[in-house]
Amino acid sequence: MKKVFICSKCGKAYLNDETGIRFCPDDGGTLISTGFDETQWSEMSEEAQNNTVNAIIHPTNRNQEIADALKSAGSALGNAAKMTGEKLKNSLQTEASSENRSSDSKISSFAFQPYKNVGGKLCEISNALCLLGCIISVVLGLIIISNNPFSYGYSSDLSTASVICGVLVIAVGCFISWLTSVFMNAMGVIVIKLGDIEKNTGAK
């Protein structure tokens, strides 16, 4: 029995055997069977025929729709995962930087830091000790000269020995104070230079 076939390109209806020609004679389109014979086709309303033709001309490719949907879902999941990864990375970086700032603030908030800037402190202390040593030496020398301990009570005049001793105390005391200050200053400068070298090496 002949069935009604529809051309997949032009939408024209043809009566054809199941084993007959399957191509449209007008445009070469594939003839697709509707499953209806001539009587059934003629009994169908025009709207039903048009719907059948449209369904054949414009078939709904469910597999393609599913593939597109899966592709879209996969892309959305990939973007979501990427965004989540970036957010997690940014969150970890922010947390790490906040911890570093917190630790730095704790260190800087510690009031008593005797080992910070050791080189500068050595230079300052050496200058102060030099000045203090010179003052003490001068005071001791003047005390020796004024007390005149080498007169042995025989004369109220200053003895030569007392003056020499006082001058020696002043000179030796000032020299030792200066020499100590030089060594301490040298140590402070060395510490400062080593710190600068370490900073420059760490920056590279």
- pLDDT digits 0-9 by tens, 30-44: 787 777 777 887 888
Band of pLDDT at residue 69, cut at 50, 70 and 90: very low
pLDDT at 53 over 60: yes
More confident residue, 127 or 30: 127
Spatial separation of the C-alpha atoms in residues 169 and 135, rounded to whole Å: 11
Q: What is the pLDDT of residue 171?
A: 94
- Taking CA atoms, 19 is separated from 7, 23, 138, in Å, by 16, 12, 133
* SS3 state at 5: strand
Q: Is 7 helix (H, G, I), strand (E, B) or coil?
A: strand
66 pLDDT band (50/70/90 cuts)? very low
Q: Quick check: 2 pLDDT over 70?
A: yes
Tell me the pLDDT band of 52, cut-offs 50, 70 and 90: confident
pTM for the model = 0.39
The pLDDT tens digits of the residues spanning 97-125 come to: 766 666 555 555 444 455 667 778 888 88
Strands across the sheet containing 13-16:
13-16, 3-7, 31-37
Task: Give the pLDDT score at 70.
Answer: 46
CA separation for the pair 163, 145 (Å, rounded): 5
What is the C-alpha separation between 142 and 166, in angstroms, rounded? 6
Tokens of 61: 């490719």
Is pLDDT above 50 for 158? yes
In DSSP notation, 10-71 reads T--EEEE-TTS--B-TTT-PBEEEEEEEHHHHHHS-HHHHHHHHHHHHS---HHHHHHHHHH
